[in-house]
């Protein structure tokens, strides 16, 4: 059975490492080294020329990071992965790998606030235009395309709206036009496999559910190996034309003997080499610890969150509950299609008392942590309008679904009775 045909509960424990060949260590060793000894001059030259694959320097590759890359790639059913220093680095690299100044890409409006800022401002400063479109009509992506459009970008389960993205619909439009769909699957880690629905690239903030322990910041990009970059050579010039930054390599040709990994090899050998957003081996080890229990934790995150959403929906202080299990019609059908019977661990609510009630509620929580994070094993809460989304204008906040009274909950894996009890006492204060 290949790594990619095994079930994810198995691949997260076994893919990419059996036992250390030198020591027999079953746990993946932390290769806390900057560099790797070359066998001889020819070996060194071959590694640099990419005619042989192997370790050179930890900014570009590391055996501990490699196991994490292989495990997440196997979980996604992809071709190869790249671990990075943060989810932000992963989002930036996903675009910069195939777009340069003068190019554009189309992104869903339903994005994490940090990604929004990166795309609307920092990318703009780099000369790369992000065209934001409402994902409720997949055709909006087609309408925004011109001959300089290089990518589509979206989140599977975007908070705060939690409207599941129409992956296969937008991926199909992209494939017609030679445009890969890049999916941020962070909030649906382990419950959705976007590549199966036609996405070309999957990226993660491993900081969230993949870690689960809340100890480490990291990101990861998986190349699906399922996108024909050569068939759209004009649309994707940077994978099909000589790259002056790697002595004229044409990436689609350079990987011919390795596999359908042009996108991720280019990212590793140029962007990671030059911008240096590497994941530390220690953090890779931490993410491997988290990944081992991801499927189990997600089951609990998801079942707890359904129970919380049901309970909140009946609470007199709550105006609206935002969770896929509470949706109806097309949105619910989409959630059912993509989330494999689970609806994620995030839940939003709008309190009848608005912003003041939101603040009072947050300050009254005793067990929930008040932090700017999601996907921790512990339950977390935040008021996005004054924190994660505060650098956005009022119109931008509205477009991303953040109203003044919106409270975001990231439901943990504690006993459901204790979660409800904390929510109950805090809501009694508003
Ligand atoms: N993508 C999503 C959906 C996120 O929630 C976050 C962080 O909150 C990121 C990307 C950025 O990840 P990181 O904080 O690891 O840089």
Q: What is the pLDDT of residues 193-235, one digit of tens each?
A: 999 999 999 999 999 999 999 999 999 999 999 999 999 999 9
Is residue 3, in this structure, part of any structural domain at all?
no
Does residue 240's CB lie within 6 angstroms of at least one atom of ligand 1?
A: no
Whether the pLDDT of residue 313 is over 90: the answer is: yes
In the chain, the percentage of residues whose pLDDT exceeds 90 is 87
Give 131: exposed, middle or buried? Use CB within 10 Å, 0-12, 13-18, 19+. Answer: middle
What confidence tier does 20 reach under pLDDT thresholds 50, 70, 90? very high
Measured CA distances, 327 to 3, 100, 343, 383 (Å): 35, 39, 11, 22
pLDDT of the residue at 5: 64
Please give the helix or strand (H or E) that residue 398 lies within, else none.
Answer: helix 394-400
- Average pLDDT score over residue span 346-351: 95
212 alpha carbon – ligand 1 mean position (Å): 13
Domain CATH for 328: 3.90.1150.10
Nearest protein Cα to ligand 1, atom 11: 87
Give this prediction's pTM. Answer: 0.96
> What is the C-alpha to C-alpha distance for residues 71 and 13, in angstroms, rounded to an integer?
8
- Average pLDDT score over residue span 117-138: 97
Q: List the one residue out of 207, 407, 379, 392 whose CA is nearest residue 301.
A: 379
Look up residue 428 and give its two tokens: 């009694």
411 alpha carbon – ligand 1 mean position (Å): 17
Residue 104: phi and psi, rounded to 5, are -140, 170
Is residue 123, in this structure, part of any structural domain at all?
yes
> What is the C-alpha to C-alpha distance for residues 138 and 95, in angstroms, rounded to an integer?
20
Does residue 375's CB lie within 6 angstroms of at least one atom of ligand 1?
A: no
Please indicate, yes or no, whether residues 285 and 301 belong to a single structural domain of this protein. Answer: no
Is residue 200, in this structure, part of any structural domain at all?
yes
Does residue 186's CB lie within 6 angstroms of at least one atom of ligand 1?
A: yes
pLDDT of the residue at 390: 78
Does residue 207's CB lie within 6 angstroms of at least one atom of ligand 1?
A: yes
Is residue 181, in this structure, part of any structural domain at all?
yes
Does residue 110's CB lie within 6 angstroms of at least one atom of ligand 1?
A: no
113 alpha carbon – ligand 1 mean position (Å): 9
Nearest protein Cα to ligand 1, atom 13: 87
Closest ligand 1 atom to residue 206 Cα is: 15
Please indicate, yes or no, whether residues 39 and 101 belong to a single structural domain of this protein. Answer: yes
Closest ligand 1 atom to residue 219 Cα is: 15
pLDDT of the residue at 1: 41
What confidence tier does 385 reach under pLDDT thresholds 50, 70, 90? confident
Mean pLDDT for the chain overall: 95
Q: What is the DSSP string of 403-430?
A: -TTEEEEE--SS-HHHHHHHHHHHHTT-
Comparing 293-302, 345-354, 387-396, the range with the smallest average pLDDT is: 387-396
What confidence tier does 404 reach under pLDDT thresholds 50, 70, 90? confident
Domain CATH for 62: 3.40.640.10
Nearest protein Cα to ligand 1, atom 12: 87
> What is the C-alpha to C-alpha distance for residues 343 and 350, in angstroms, rounded to an integer?
19
Comparing 31-40, 63-72, 303-312, 398-407, the range with the smallest average pLDDT is: 398-407
Domain boundary among 289, 310, 331: 289
**Domain limits at 203?**
8-289
Q: List the one residue out of 101, 94, 258, 119 whose CA is nearest residue 185.
A: 94
Is residue 184, in this structure, part of any structural domain at all?
yes
- Average pLDDT score over residue span 160-176: 96
- Asked if 97 and 266 count as a contact pair (C-beta separation under 8 A), the reply is yes
Does residue 206's CB lie within 6 angstroms of at least one atom of ligand 1?
A: no
Which of 115, 160, 162 has most ligand 1 atoms within 8 Å of its beta carbon, as the pocket-test mutant?
115
Does residue 214's CB lie within 6 angstroms of at least one atom of ligand 1?
A: no
Based on the structure, what is the number of domains in the chain?
Answer: 2
pLDDT of the residue at 398: 75
pLDDT of the residue at 384: 84
Q: List the one residue out of 194, 148, 143 whose CA is nearest residue 173.
A: 143
Nearest protein Cα to ligand 1, atom 4: 112
Please give the helix or strand (H or E) that residue 219 lies within, else none.
Answer: strand 219-223
Is residue 136, in this structure, part of any structural domain at all?
yes
Please indicate, yes or no, whether residues 201 and 342 belong to a single structural domain of this protein. Answer: no
What confidence tier does 389 reach under pLDDT thresholds 50, 70, 90? confident
Domain boundary among 289, 324, 346: 289
Is residue 1, in this structure, part of any structural domain at all?
no
87 alpha carbon – ligand 1 mean position (Å): 5
Whether the pLDDT of residue 3 is over 70: the answer is: no
Please give the helix or strand (H or E) that residue 182 lies within, else none.
Answer: strand 181-184
- What sign has the CA pseudo-torsion 394, 397, 403, 407? negative
Please give the helix or strand (H or E) that residue 298 lies within, else none.
Answer: helix 294-313
Is residue 2, in this structure, part of any structural domain at all?
no
Whether the pLDDT of residue 259 is over 60: the answer is: yes
Residues 6+ apart with CB under 8 A from 414: 304, 367, 378, 379
Whether the pLDDT of residue 148 is over 80: the answer is: yes
Please indicate, yes or no, whether residues 189 and 316 belong to a single structural domain of this protein. Answer: no
Please give the helix or strand (H or E) that residue 130 lies within, else none.
Answer: strand 129-133
Please indicate, yes or no, whether residues 175 and 212 belong to a single structural domain of this protein. Answer: yes
Torsion of CA 241, 243, 249, 252, to 10 degrees: -50
């Amino acid at each position: 059975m290949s790594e990619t045909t095994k079930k994810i509960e198995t691949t997260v424990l076994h893919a990419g490492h059996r036992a250390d060949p030198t020591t027999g260590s079953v746990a993946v060793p932390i290769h806390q080294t900057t560099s790797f000894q070359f066998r001889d001059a020819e070996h060194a030259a071959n590694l640099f020329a990419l005619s042989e694959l192997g370790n050179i320097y930890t900014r570009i590759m590391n055996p501990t990071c490699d196991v994490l890359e292989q495990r997440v790639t196997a979980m996604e059913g992809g071709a190869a992965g790249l671990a990075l220093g943060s989810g932000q680095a992963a989002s930036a690299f996903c675009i910069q790998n195939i777009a340069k100044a003068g190019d554009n890409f189309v992104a869903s409006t339903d994005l994490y606030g940090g990604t929004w800022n990166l795309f609307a401002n920092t990318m703009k400063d780099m000369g790369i235009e992000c065209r934001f479109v409402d994902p409720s009509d997949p055709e909006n992506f087609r309408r925004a395309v011109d001959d300089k459009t290089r990518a589509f970008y979206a989140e599977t389960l975007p908070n705060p709206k939690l409207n599941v993205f129409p992956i296969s619909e937008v991926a199909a439009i992209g494939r017609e036009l030679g445009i890969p769909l890049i999916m941020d699957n962070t909030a649906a880690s382990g419950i959705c496999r976007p590549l199966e629905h036609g996405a070309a690239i999957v990226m993660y903030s491993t900081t969230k559910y993949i870690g689960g322990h809340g100890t480490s910041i990291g990101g990861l990009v998986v190349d699906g190996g399922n996108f024909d970059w050569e068939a759209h050579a004009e649309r994707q010039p940077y994978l099909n034309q000589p790259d002056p930054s790697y002595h004229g390599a044409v990436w689609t040709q350079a990987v011919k003997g390795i596999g359908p990994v042009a996108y991720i090899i280019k990212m590793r050998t140029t962007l990671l080499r030059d911008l240096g957003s590497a994941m530390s081996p220690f953090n890779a080890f931490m993410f491997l610890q988290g990944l081992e229990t991801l499927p189990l934790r997600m089951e609990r995150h998801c079942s707890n969150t359904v129970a919380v959403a049901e309970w909140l929906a009946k609470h007199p202080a709550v105006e609206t509950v935002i969770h896929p299990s509470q949706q109806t019609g097309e949105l619910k059908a989409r959630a059912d299609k993509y989330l494999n019977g689970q609806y994620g661990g995030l839940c939003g609510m709008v309190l009848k008392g608005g912003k003041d009630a939101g603040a009072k509620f947050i300050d009254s929580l005793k067990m929930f942590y008040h932090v700017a994070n999601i996907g921790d094993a512990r339950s977390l809460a935040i008021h996005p309008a004054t924190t994660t989304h505060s650098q956005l204008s009022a119109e931008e906040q509205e477009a991303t679904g953040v109203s003044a009274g919106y409270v975001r909950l990231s439901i943990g894996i504690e006993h459901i009775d204790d979660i409800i009890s904390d929510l109950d006492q805090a809501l009694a204060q508003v």
